[in-house]
Amino acid sequence: MDLDIRRVGVTKDLLGESPCWDSRSGAVCWIDSLAGTLHRHWPASGVSETHDLPAPVGSIALCESGAVVAALKNSFGRYDFGSRQLEILARLDVDHPGVRLNDGKCDPWGNFLAGTMHIHRQPGDALLGGLYRLRPDRTVEKLAGDIAFTNGPCFSLDGRTLYVADSVARTIWAYNYAPDGPLAGKRVFAQTETFASGPDGATVDAEGFLWSVLVRIAKLARFAPDGSLDRLVDLPATYPTSLCFGGERLETAYVTSISKSTQLAGKRAEDGGLFAVNGLPAPGVTPHRYMDA
């Protein structure tokens, strides 16, 4: 099947990120991290709506209740679409101007994992922040403290392997994962230095292959479960950022992009848009939800 890539709607995000598919309502949700905009779009009808969150927003995930959980600068929040109200669930143990929460994803047991990025760090400065797990009871656990720029957390099909990228190190790590225990068995899953790009957002498809966005070369990379490269897919945005699978059969990859972030500026008129990619070799899987209800 040939690839079909089309722009969805007319939104133009500064830093589009964290797309997730709501299979219950048939909507794709994503954020503009820098503007603090939460988008929700129904592809079947073309209807869209926007919501405001306090910027910067690192990532979002669906909740069991129908709300979304959000990784804010140094806290976790729950946003209710109906009331348009944001509730702070928990705060991090670090408050520093160069540290903020970034990418996140839910595990199969209803926890939300999100990690930080530590920017403007000088030689000799301690690495602050880390990878955190927000439990349904709103307690927060720090799982790792050695990731400089967290991106692309996602899980193997059985949930027992956690993949997390450090974009600065241009490495995707794999860990043994248990929902009630520490991370173990850290190992290199894939390295992207040869592609001249750090890995950004990621997800796993129904065959257990990992898809990672290579932001600086405008490609999707598909890695086999053993970490070997399966294929590269060209994208029409200068700087794509993240992806999720959606649609009735989870056969469409929705990809976010940058028009102007703090470091990158797009060169094309469609930059900052949301794109739908069809014709990929396997569908995705239904995303896990944060157990807030």
Residues recognised as catalytic: 200
Distance CA 240, CA 256 (A): 6
Check residue 120 and give left, alpha or beta (phi > 0: left; psi -120 to 50: alpha): left
Distance CA 99, CA 102 (A): 9
User: Any idea which residue has 């966005």 for tokens?
Assistant: 213
Of the candidates 219, 211, 192, 263, the one whose C-alpha atom is nearest the C-alpha of residue 105 is 211
Question: What residues form DSSP beta bridges with 166?
Answer: 150, 171
Q: Is 217 helix (H, G, I), strand (E, B) or coil?
A: helix
Token code pair at residue 258: 């940058």
In 150-251, the DSSP E strands lie at: 150-155, 161-166, 171-176, 184-191, 199-204, 210-214, 219-223, 229-234, 240-246
Of the candidates 6, 4, 5, 33, the one whose C-alpha atom is nearest the C-alpha of residue 19 is 33
Distance of CA 199 to the CA centre of its chain: 11
DSSP assignment of 188-208 equals: EEEE-GGGTS-EEEEEEBTTS
Of the candidates 73, 88, 76, the one whose C-alpha atom is nearest the C-alpha of residue 34 is 73
